[in-house]
Chains A and B, each alone.
Chain A
Amino acid sequence: MTVIGEITHPEGVFALCIVLLWVSALYCIMLSRNLIRILIGVELISKALTLLLAAGGYLTAQTGFSQALIVTLIVVEVVLIAVAAGIVVGAYHRTGSLDVCELEKLKG
C-alpha cells in the first residue's frame, strides 16, 4: 500500500515524528496551568526543531553544517530557558503561586 510505504520511508518517519512532537508541545503549552510545565512545553518545541535540523543534515549529507546549526540552537535554548526560569521564579516570589490564572490580571 503506497500510503504505508510513505510512512516507512525514512523521511516520512522524521516528518511524522516532528509533527507529533510539535502537537504534544502545543498541547502542553495550551492546556497547562503550571508555569513550569509551560516551559517544559517550550523545551519540547526545541526538541522538535533539533530533530528537524538533524534530519535535514542526514538527508542532504551535510552533517557538518547541520551539527553547527544544532550546537548553536542548543546554546540559544539554554540561555532562553535560564532567563525564562528566572522570570517564572520571580513571578512566583511576587504572587506566591505558579498558577497561570494568577498572571491574567492585566486585562485584554
Chain B
Amino acid sequence: MLILFLLLLGCALFTVLTPTLIMSALGLAATSVALSLIIFELKQPLAAVFELSVCAGLITAVFVSAISLTRRYSPAEERCVAAGRLSRFIWLPLLFLAAGGVYVYLGSEIGIPVARPLGDHMESMGVREVLWQARRLDLLGQLFLVLTGVFGVVVLFKGWHKR
C-alpha cells in the first residue's frame, strides 16, 4: 500500500518535471492508473474503474489530441527550452521534502480525526442506490454539464475551416 503511494507521487513528479509535452501527458495517465489502484485498495471498486477508464483514457486522449493540434516550437528551439527548464523545475523535489517536513511538524497539532474505526467496512449504502436516489439533483447537474460540454466543443472547435 505504501508502495502505491510512492508510485503515485513518483508519477506526479515525473509529470511535472519531464520536458516534453507528450511525456507529460503520458505521465498524467500513469498517475491516473496509480490513483485508481489506490482507490481500488481503499475498497471502492466502481470509482476505481471509472477513474481508470475516464481519466487514464478519455482525458489523456483529449490532451494528446490537443497536443497534436498545436505545435509550439521547432525541434531545435524545443531542445533549447527543455534544457533551461530543468533548472527551474529542479526545485520541486526539494519543495516536496520541505512540505513533508512542515507537514510532519504540524501533523501533531492538527490532529486528523479518525471518525469511524478503520477496517470496519460494511457498505452503508451501495453506490448505485446513493447515486440514483439520494443525489438526483447532482445527476441533473451532470446532464446539464454534458450539454454544455457539447456546446463548448461545437462553438470552440467548429468553423476553423471557414476562417
Contacts and interface: CB of A to CB of B under 8 A. Distances in A.
In the complex, A touching B (Cβ < 8 A):
yes
Chain B interface mostly: helix
Contacts of A72: 131, 135, 138, 142
Nearest to B60: A43
Interface residues of B, number: 80
B15 A40 contact: yes
A81 interface: yes
Contacts of B157: 86, 89-90
Contacts of B66: 36, 39, 85, 88-89
Interface string A21-37: 10110011001011011
A93 interface: yes
Contacts of B2: 13
Interface in B6-27: 8-9, 12-13, 15-16, 21, 24-25
Contacts of B35: 47, 50-51
Instruction: Classify chain A's interface size.
Output: 35 or more
Contacts, number: 223
Contact of A87 (B21, B70, B156): B156
Nearest to A99: B72
A106 interface: no
A62 to B, nearest CB: 5
Contacts of A21: 8-9, 12
Interface of A: 2-3, 6-7, 10-13, 15-17, 19-21, 23-24, 27-28, 31, 33-34, 36-37, 39-41, 43-44, 46-47, 50-51, 54-55, 57-68, 70-72, 74-79, 81-83, 85-90, 92-93, 97-99
Q: Identify the 6 closest CB pairs spanning chains A and B, nearest first.
A: A86-B156, A79-B149, A83-B152, A70-B47, A58-B42, A64-B125
21 contacts: A7-B104, A17-B8, A19-B103, A21-B8, A23-B99, A27-B95, A44-B28, A47-B35, A47-B55, A51-B38, A61-B116, A61-B117, A61-B122, A67-B130, A77-B55, A78-B59, A79-B145, A79-B152, A86-B155, A88-B66, A97-B72
